[in-house]
Structure 1
Amino acid sequence: MAQFNLKKFSHFCALGFGLGLAPKAPGTFGTLAAIPFIMMTMTAPLWLQLVVAIAISAIGIWFCEVASRDAGVHDHPSIVWDEVAGFYITMIGAAISWQTLLVGFILFRFFDIVKPWPIKLLDKHVKGGFGIMVDDILAGIFSLLCLQLVLYYGLI
C-alpha cells in the first residue's frame, strides 16, 4: 500500500489536490483538477497558455518523481498531476464552454486510457517523473489537435 502525505506539497499536488485518492477512476477525477487552471487562463493570450502548460508540465515532473519515490511505486494510480497537465494542454486555445470542456475531457481520457502509438511506447519505456508525465503530455497534444479540428469544422 503506497503511503502519501497530503501535508507534503509535492504529494498534495501530485495527487491532484487529493482528487487522485478517489477509490474508483482516480485518473478521471484527477483530470478535473485542471479545470481551475483552465478557467484562470481561458482569456489569456495563446503564448501565456503555452507558458502555463510548460510550467504545469515541468513542475509536474518533480511532483510525480517525489511522490512516486516516496510511495515506492512508479506511476501509482493516485498520482494524477500528469492528467492535470494533459487536460490543460488539451484546452489550449479553445473558447471555453461546457461543450468544449466536455469534448476535451472525453478526448483526453480516450487518448490517456487507450494509449495509441507512440503514447503506449513512452508509457512502457520511460521511467521516473518524466516517464509519468510524458505519455499524458502526448495524449494532451493528440487531444488538443482533435479538439481544434472539431472546433474548426464547427462540430461544436
Structure 2
Amino acid sequence: MTDHRNQVKPVPPSVWRNPWHFMAFGFGSGTLPKAPGTWGSLVALPFMPLWQMLPDWGYWLMLGLTMLFGFWLCGKVASDLRVHDHEGIVWDEMVGMWITLWLVPQGWYWLLIGFLVFRFFDILKPWPISWLDRHVHGGVGIMLDDVLAGVFAWLTMQGLVWSFT
C-alpha cells in the first residue's frame, strides 16, 4: 500500500490568485520546495510582536479565532485542491507556533527555542498527535495535530520559562 501523504504535490497556481489559498499556504511560504512546514512556522514569528502586545485574554481569543478559522480555511483549500492535506497548507503550523509562544517572555531567544520545540513535536508526532494525524480528516484533521503539537510545545516552553526566569 502506498502512503500518498509523503509524496510531494505540485504547487497549485491558485495559491497566487486565490486569497484563501494564499493564506492557507502561509502567504506563499508553503510553496517552497523543501520543508514547507518549517517555512510556515517561521512565517508565524513576525506576528509575535503584535500578538505579545495583546493582553493575555486577547492572545487567547486570537488563538481561538485563528484555530476555528483554520478548521474552515484548511478544509476549504484541501477540498478545492481535491487532496486530504497538501503539504503546502501551513496555516496549521502558524497557529501551532502561536500556541507554543503564548505567555512566553519577549526576546529572540525565546522565539528560537519555541520554534525548535514546536518543530520537534510537529515532526516527530508522538502519540496522540500521530493518532490524530492518521484518523481525523478534513479541516479539523489538518489543524488538530498541529494544535496538539503546539500544546505539547507550550507545556514544554512553560516549564522552560518557569525554570529559567
Q: Which TM-score bucket, shorter chain as reference?
A: over 0.9
Q: Which runs of 5+ in 2 are unaligned?
A: 1-9
Contact residue 78 and residue 85 of structure 2 kept, 8 A = yes
| Structure 2 match to 1:126 | 136
Alpha-carbon shift at residue 43 of structure 1 (Å): 2.6
Equivalent-residue separation in structure 1 for 2:48 and 2:11 (angstroms): 30
1:29 to 2:2 alignment: no
Distance 1:118 1:4, change over 3 A: farther
TM-score, with length taken from structure 1: 0.95
1:106 to 2:98 alignment: no
Q: Which has the higher helix share?
A: 2
TM-score, with length taken from structure 2: 0.90
Alpha-carbon shift at residue 148 of structure 1 (Å): 0.8
The one of 56, 61, 64 aligned to 2:71: 61
| Structure 2 match to 1:91 | 101
Alpha-carbon shift at residue 4 of structure 1 (Å): 4.6
| Structure 1 match to 2:12 | 3
Contact residue 11 and residue 31 of structure 2 kept, 8 A = no
Contact residue 119 and residue 139 of structure 1 kept, 8 A = yes
Please give the secondary structure, in 1, of the residue aligned with 2:71.
helix
Contact residue 96 and residue 150 of structure 2 kept, 8 A = yes
Alpha-carbon shift at residue 70 of structure 1 (Å): 1.2
| RMSD across aligned positions (CA) | 1.2
Alpha-carbon shift at residue 102 of structure 1 (Å): 0.5
Which contiguous aligned blocks of 4+ residues in structure 1 show a shift greater than 6 angstroms? Answer: none
Q: Which runs of 5+ in 1 are unaligned?
A: none
Post-superposition Cα deviations, 1:110-132, rounded to whole Å, max 9, x if no partner, equal 00000001000100000000000
Alpha-carbon shift at residue 7 of structure 1 (Å): 1.9
| Structure 1 match to 2:7 | none
Alpha-carbon shift at residue 2 of structure 1 (Å): 5.6
Please give the secondary structure, in 2, of the residue aligned with 1:77.
coil
For these two proteins, the number of residue pairs brought into alignment is 155
The one of 128, 132, 155 aligned to 1:145: 155
